[in-house]
Amino acid sequence: MPRIIDLSKPIRYNATDPWFMKVKIKHKPHHKAKWLIRLLGLPFRLFPKDFMGWADDTIQSMGVHSTTHLDAPWHYAPTVAGQPAKTIDQVPLDWCYGDGVVIDMSHKADFDPITVADLQDALQKAETVLKPAMIVLIRTGRDKLNGTKEFPEKGTGMSSEATRWLIDQGIRVMGIDQWGWDLPLPYMIKQAKQSGDSELFWQAHLVGREQEYCHMEQLVNLDALPASGFKVCVFPLNIVGASAAPARVVALLDE
């Protein structure tokens, strides 16, 4: 049996999450169900012995980008190279399982973008060769900020050139263990406003207007993986027409 390592963060309410990441779940205790069954017509005397009812839960609020998730091409733009972009339910499942590679970018400073040279140097040091259909995981170490106010505000991020380079190697699915694939959103907004340059915002995401790919965000535990020699499963919820979906991402390592 392979060893399974969970690469997805727990889905739960966290008071320090910003409004755009808030998750609200209502947990219903067992005894609530007894009254529902009574209202549906079953007398209490016919309940099974020691029946407590069933527990139930309702997700009251959770955006598809709020936790560990896979972004579909539709997230980046309505078209890719002039063709309709795939929504998450249209992403082929065979994209979502394959050989995994971890590229260590934990040395990169906050707001310093990851370049093609960074990727090539790290792969060379790890003696790892990329092959088409591999799933590439970018380790920044910023998953340690999960649950703090700093999580969406700090991190490195993929440059557009580095994103294109991975796609050109035949990589369709890639992911990162920080809040977003690009440099932190507040930082990008600040830089664009200061410079007046519209090309400084969301550069890596917008590669998806021209080249088809998917990326994961908010991964965890990438430090528990070797550079290569494992499988990755990324299956997202099958939400029709959605730009993304929460995913239980796991790595499978042969012992």
* DSSP states of 120-153: HHHHHHTT----TT-EEEEE-SGGGGTTSTTTTT
Q: Return the amino acid letter for 47.
A: F
Question: If you average pLDDT over every residue of the chain, what do you get?
Answer: 95
What is the C-alpha separation between 11 and 57, in angstroms, rounded?
A: 13
Element (H, E) at 33: helix 30-39
Residue 30's pLDDT band (cuts 50, 70, 90): confident
What is the C-alpha separation between 137 and 217, in angstroms, rounded?
A: 10
pLDDT digits (tens, 9 = 90+) for 130-186: 999 999 999 999 999 999 999 999 999 999 999 999 999 999 999 999 999 999 999
pLDDT at residue 92 tops 80: yes
Supply the pLDDT for residue 38: 79
Domain spanning 69-253: CATH superfamily: Putative cyclase (3.50.30.50)
* CB atoms closer than 10 angstroms to residue 89: 15
Q: Where exactly are the structural domains of the chain?
A: 24-61, 69-253
Whether residue 76 contacts residue 205, with contact meaning beta carbons closer than 8 Å, is answered with yes
pLDDT digits (tens, 9 = 90+) for 211-227: 999 999 999 999 999 99
The partner residues of 158 in beta bridges, in order of sequence, read 114
